[in-house]
């Protein structure tokens, strides 16, 4: 589908500088632009590309002033925030690629399930007893929704997502391929001989509205009660959320984060990739955790933390400088020790 610069400017409330009738039908990074493509520039590091790009339209900030001549084929659309506006267009583009409402065959839908209007259900999906799939949901092929699962409006579950019994997913969520929601928490009790017996996991998982969960992530059901992923949380691929964890609103975590059982993560926390968080602790709102850090105890006050065990980032950097100097310091100690021994011998 084609859009003109004038139409795009209308969507973004922007100003056209150039040909308002030029049309685009594709999106491209500014350094990879081609005729008929729409790009954006918000980071000054990439400004050099705007003078050579082949894109037909580029979205820029209102404050942008060209340092030299722009390509004659390039039309600008000036907006308040180029990055946010391009993201808005990406969202619009993505919504246009939604699956048409249809129930593909073969698939299994239990007669007791409630399926809303304008729903897409892909081939080989399994929908169990008393499942509720609300209006405009997208259920891709091979998705499994076990008994009593609830899926909110406009939520999308990509291929091979499995949602165990009694779990709930809110509105406008995106669950990427291969994710497992509601698998058993890691609960085992050893007897006097050290043999482990399984503790039944009878709770569920509750995912609130506007959550996005990356591919091949796992969120374990609670032993009792619920594991919570609160409103607006964003999770990258390959994250592990253990039983009874509570991740509060608008927290974001990068790939391979692991959070142990019953941990409580505050609002607007940012967690770098491969971070490990121990169980039965809490992390204060607005905390930032650098990648590959380890959190072994409660974080009571918001800070930027780094290392294992994690400490404030400036303390970590100073410690690291000392650590790098350690081999030289050890060598000096050996040299001083040898000199001292020589002095004692010659005394």
**75-131: pLDDT as tens digits:** 999 999 999 999 998 888 877 778 899 999 999 999 999 999 999 999 999 999 999
Which of 116-120, 173-177, 313-317 has the weakest average pLDDT? 313-317
User: Does 273 have pLDDT greater than 80?
Assistant: yes
For the segment 222-239, the average pLDDT, to the nearest whole number, is 98
Q: Which CATH number is 102-311 given? A: 2.160.10.10
Mean pLDDT (the chain) is 95
Superfamily of domain 3-96: MurE/MurF, N-terminal domain (3.40.1390.10)
The answer to whether the 3-96 and 102-311 domains have the same CATH topology is no
What band does 143 get if pLDDT is binned at 50, 70 and 90?
very high
Write down the pLDDT at residue 345: 82
> Could you tell me which residue, 211 or 323, shows the higher pLDDT?
211
Q: What are phi and psi of 8, to 5 degrees?
A: -65, -45
90 contact partners, CB below 8 Å, separation of at least 6: 27
- Burial class from Cβ neighbours inside 10 Å (0-12, 13-18, 19+) for residue 115 reads middle
| Catalytic-role residue among 243, 268, 286, 320 | 243
Question: CA 307, CA 288: separation in Å to the nearest integer?
Answer: 12
Write down the pLDDT at residue 91: 84
What band does 341 get if pLDDT is binned at 50, 70 and 90?
confident
> Could you tell me which residue, 321 or 219, shows the higher pLDDT?
219
Write down the pLDDT at residue 207: 98
User: Does 34 have pLDDT greater than 90?
Assistant: yes
134 contact partners, CB below 8 Å, separation of at least 6: 116, 150, 151, 152, 153, 155, 171
Parallel/antiparallel/unpaired status of strands 57-61 and 108-109:
unpaired
What band does 288 get if pLDDT is binned at 50, 70 and 90?
very high
User: Does 234 have pLDDT greater than 90?
Assistant: yes
What band does 325 get if pLDDT is binned at 50, 70 and 90?
confident
Mind listing the pLDDT tens digit for each residue in 41-79? 999 999 999 999 999 999 999 999 999 999 999 999 999
Question: CA 331, CA 344: separation in Å to the nearest integer?
Answer: 20
Q: pTM for the complete prediction? A: 0.85
User: Does 347 have pLDDT greater than 80?
Assistant: no
Sheet with 246-247, edge to edge strand ranges: 114-115, 132-133, 150-151, 168-169, 204-207, 226-229, 246-247, 264-265, 282-283
Provide the residue ranges of all domains of the chain, joining segments of one domain with +.
3-96, 102-311, 319-345
Say if CB 201 and CB 189 are below 8 A apart: no
For the segment 265-288, the average pLDDT, to the nearest whole number, is 98
What band does 324 get if pLDDT is binned at 50, 70 and 90?
confident
Q: Work out the number of other CB atoms within 10 angstroms of the CB of residue 15.
A: 11
User: Does 1 have pLDDT greater than 80?
Assistant: no
For the segment 316-324, the average pLDDT, to the nearest whole number, is 87
286 has catalytic annotation: no
Write down the pLDDT at residue 326: 87
> Could you tell me which residue, 255 or 94, shows the higher pLDDT?
255
What band does 218 get if pLDDT is binned at 50, 70 and 90?
very high
Q: What are phi and psi of 175, to 5 degrees?
A: -115, 115
């Amino acid at each position: 589908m084609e859009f003109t610069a004038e139409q795009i400017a209308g969507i973004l409330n922007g100003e056209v500088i150039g040909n308002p009738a030029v049309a685009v039908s594709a999106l491209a990074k500014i350094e990879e632009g081609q005729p008929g493509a729409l790009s954006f520039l918000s980071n000054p590091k990439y400004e050099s590309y705007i003078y050579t790009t082949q894109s037909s339209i580029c979205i820029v900030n209102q404050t942008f002033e060209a340092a030299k001549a722009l390509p004659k084929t390039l039309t600008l659309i000036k907006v308040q925030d180029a990055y946010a506006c391009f993201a808005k267009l990406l969202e619009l583009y993505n919504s246009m690629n939604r699956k048409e409402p249809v129930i593909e065959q073969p698939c299994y839908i239990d007669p007791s399930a409630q399926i809303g209007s304008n729903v897409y259900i892909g081939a080989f999906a399994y929908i169990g007893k008393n499942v509720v799939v609300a209006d405009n949901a997208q259920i891709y092929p091979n998705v499994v929704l076990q008994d009593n699962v609830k899926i909110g409006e406009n939520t999308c579950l990509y291929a091979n997502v499995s949602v165990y019994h009694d779990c709930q997913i809110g509105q406008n969520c995106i669950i990427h391929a291969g994710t497992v929601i509601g698998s058993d928490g890691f609960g085992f009790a050893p007897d006097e001989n050290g043999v482990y017996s399984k503790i039944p996991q009878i709770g569920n998982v509750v995912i609130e509205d506007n959550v996005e969960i990356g591919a091949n992530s796992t969120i374990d059901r609670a032993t009792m009660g619920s594991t919570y992923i609160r409103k607006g949380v964003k999770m990258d691929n390959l994250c592990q959320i253990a039983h009874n964890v509570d991740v509060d609103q608008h927290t974001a975590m990068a790939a391979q984060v692991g959070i142990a059982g019953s941990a409580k993560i505050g609002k607007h926390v940012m967690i770098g990739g491969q971070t490990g968080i121990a169980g039965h602790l809490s992390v204060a709102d607005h905390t930032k955790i650098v990648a590959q850090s380890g959190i072994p105890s409660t974080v009571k006050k918001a800070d930027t933390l780094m290392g294992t065990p994690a400490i404030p980032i400036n303390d970590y950097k100073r410690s690291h400088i000392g650590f790098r100097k350690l081999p030289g310091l050890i060598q000096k100690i050996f040299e001083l020790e040898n000199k001292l021994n020589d002095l004692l011998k010659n005394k």
